[in-house]
Structure 1
């Protein structure tokens, strides 16, 4: 089984400052050094200043490469997301990896709280654009608006901003977020203006509440007053506009996966026009998909400033872990345990003791754990980290997509796809990657679900069964694709009828179509 997993790359997002921005989320939801009144993502749930690699940078780079290969070129790659990105201690390695992959400029959207730390400064030096924030001119207002971690002081934050700006070779655009009745007063603006003269950013960008804030009393400064207040700040000053860009690329299809919309709305509430602009949809199609997601309790609406915003529901954010829990609970039944043992027994005749085995799309790795118990050195790979967290401890686990394996070439004696290949949209690319990591004359084993069998047909009609999400049902078409790279044979195995499991090669009752074979040797180029 393969489960959908966490997506660290999202969008493109329609950005008021950066055009169409492909976002990267470097920390878990609402992991931040602040708990700002105006935050569009709600209250901070993990207020911390502890730096560590909250999400795996290697996997982030794999996902980024996939997005860049399949979508239009964004204006920026933005390190932002659902918390404070500089909390991730791997941010420097990520920026280096992006620079080695593409010439798209890298922007870092940060609250600026950690810019005084030398390691953070060092890690950000190769970025193209840094967009820090200054939301207050005094320590008391800083505590009221940003509600920082107890170990962060206003003075250290300001000193850090000034020190970083003096050192950074790229551009710095300083966002100043004004709130009506709080920071939008002449006294507070005069104090912020004095600090900005010391920081000396390339640009100042004035902003105010435009999306649903964490606290209802966080009110926007009216547009006409915001423009007037802009004249009180030093340097070039931009008044950030909510106007959506109308440059949707024609290369995008008329529909985008629902998961991409939910991933976007988990990071920021959006209007239908925002979703359409960011993901390259016609606004009518965006509205159709949003309405369907509302009906499925994955998206909800909220009114702010007379505008209708969409945001992901808590249920949508919990869906991956809930799917894993439901699957594991079902797997405890005696019937499924017998199925798993029978599938393991189908694999064993083609494997040699002590071999290095990779199982792609392993989910919680139930059968893989059984193989580990029998002395095989097993690596289980799946894009869903929640599933891998439930895997047995006797195998090595890797969180990554099947289409971009972060594994060495010719590293495995056997590669397995156990009821997983049919669920992969681009399964041909997954097979190419499997061939790359497989040693010469290595073994490929693919267990496909036979959708011609009565048992699997019933599962296809059950919306609560993971089988209902299958993408590719024709086992012989898949076998033809596999045969391009491998010398293979296919056979029907394992009948199921009325809860009884038995040996069968009858296509109408066998639930498994087993493809087994060896990797073909490279073609001779004709040179001796």
Structure 2
């Protein structure tokens, strides 16, 4: 990375999640409202391809598909150079607001489902090596933001087990907990038993949080049935003793780039808090981002 590419652009903020903000192919910085600092993003889907199509997705020209082959050498170079710039350069001073000048995590997210990359486990090993060689502080987490649909794969689970060794967390998408509502929100036909199986697999490999996007559609908040379905699904797992870390409940902060964009709106804080209160009654911590 050249100094000009590392420092190009204006000051980052929570609504600017431009994957090109550091002029790199795989690596990009964002100010994460959920994380409360700089999140070093890794985008394994520069082709804008995902196996889901969530109605609130901010990826333009989203297509159905999987991640392309990963250039591991390029990813290594970009990640190593950018982390060095954050740790020892002036990127924080020039591009990051004072209150967010900390590296919170290295997050596999981007423009599609990261676990669809064939080299996913190799990518985790690469991150582990770079972290170790650059002495990235232990408090900097390694986070996988995933729809969870491919966590039954042996290679993906191997990557998650290695993530657990580098301060890893899985953020497993659970926006709705019925087949019909998931089809409406995420445009996927994934069955309940598949979601449950994949979530259990994630928890067995690495500390796992649920991430839930809660919003209004056509002016109406999620229904009481949506809430009941969610609480029943999560409550069963809690009662069975599965080690779920908690729930990351968030609303709409940036406009959707999907056809349903005009139908979506953010919920009032009091409705978000009311649902969070119901989740906490299951015995789980809830972190709200609105």
Q: TM-score range by the shorter chain?
A: 0.7 to 0.9
Alignment coverage as a number of residue pairs: 231
Give the whole-Å Cα distance in 2 for the aligned partners of 1:108 and 1:166: 13
How many angstroms apart in 2 are the aligned matches of 1:6 and 1:70?
A: 13
Determine the C-alpha separation between the residues in 2 that align with 1:55 and 1:183. Answer: 39
The alignment status of 1:26 with 2:69, answered yes or no, reads: no
* Cα pair distance change 1:218/1:199, threshold 3 Å: farther
SS of 1:240's partner is strand
TM-score by length of structure 2 reads 0.72
> Which has the larger displacement, 25-34 or 191-200?
191-200
User: RMSD across aligned C-alpha pairs, in angstroms?
Assistant: 2.2
**Per chain length, whose mean CA-contact separation is higher, i.e. which structure has more relative contact order (CA < 8 Å, sep 6+)?**
2
Q: Give the drift of 1:192.
A: 0.9
**Conserved? CA contact 1:130–1:172, under 8 Å:** yes
Question: By how many angstroms is 1:6 displaced?
Answer: 4.9
| Contact residue 25 and residue 46 of structure 2 kept, 8 A | no
Unaligned runs of 5+ in 2: 6-22, 88-101, 239-243
Distance 1:55 1:166, change over 3 A: closer
Distance, in Å, in 2 between the alignment partners of 1:166 and 1:7 is 31
Residues 247-396 of structure 1 aligned to structure 2 (within 5 Å): none
1:98 alignment partner in structure 2: 127
Shift in Å, 1:212:
0.4
1:204 aligns with 2:247: yes
Give the match for residue 36 of structure 1: 54
Runs of at least 5 residues in structure 1 that lack an aligned partner in the other structure: 243-528
Aligned to 2:104: 75
Asked if 2 retains the 8 angstrom alpha-carbon contact of 1:34 and 1:146, the reply is yes
Q: Does 1:126 align with 2:172?
A: no
The offset of 1:16, in angstroms, is 2.1
Residue 229 in structure 1 maps to residue 275 in structure 2? yes
- In the superposition, relative to structure 1, how do residues 174 and 197 fare at CA in structure 2: closer, same or farther (>3 Å)? same
- TM-score, length basis structure 1: 0.41
Tell me, in whole angstroms, the C-alpha distance in 1 between the residues paired with 2:233 and 2:204: 17
**1:43, CA displacement in angstroms?**
5.4
Whether the 8 Å contact between 1:79 and 1:109 is mirrored in structure 2 is yes
Relative to structure 1, the CA distance from residue 183 to residue 134 in structure 2 (aligned partners, 3 Å threshold; closer, same or farther) is farther
Q: Match for 2:77 among 53, 62, 72?
A: 62
**How far 1:131 moved relative to its partner?**
0.5
CA shift, 1:166, in A, is 4.0
Determine which structure has more spread, i.e. the larger CA radius of gyration.
Answer: 1
Partner of 2:231: 193
Native 8 Å contact 1:202 1:235 kept in 2: no
Aligned-residue offset at 1:53? 5.0
Alignment match, 2:16: none
2:201 to 150, 164, 168: 164
Alpha carbons of structure 1 residues 183 and 146: separation in structure 2 relative to 1, 3 Å = farther
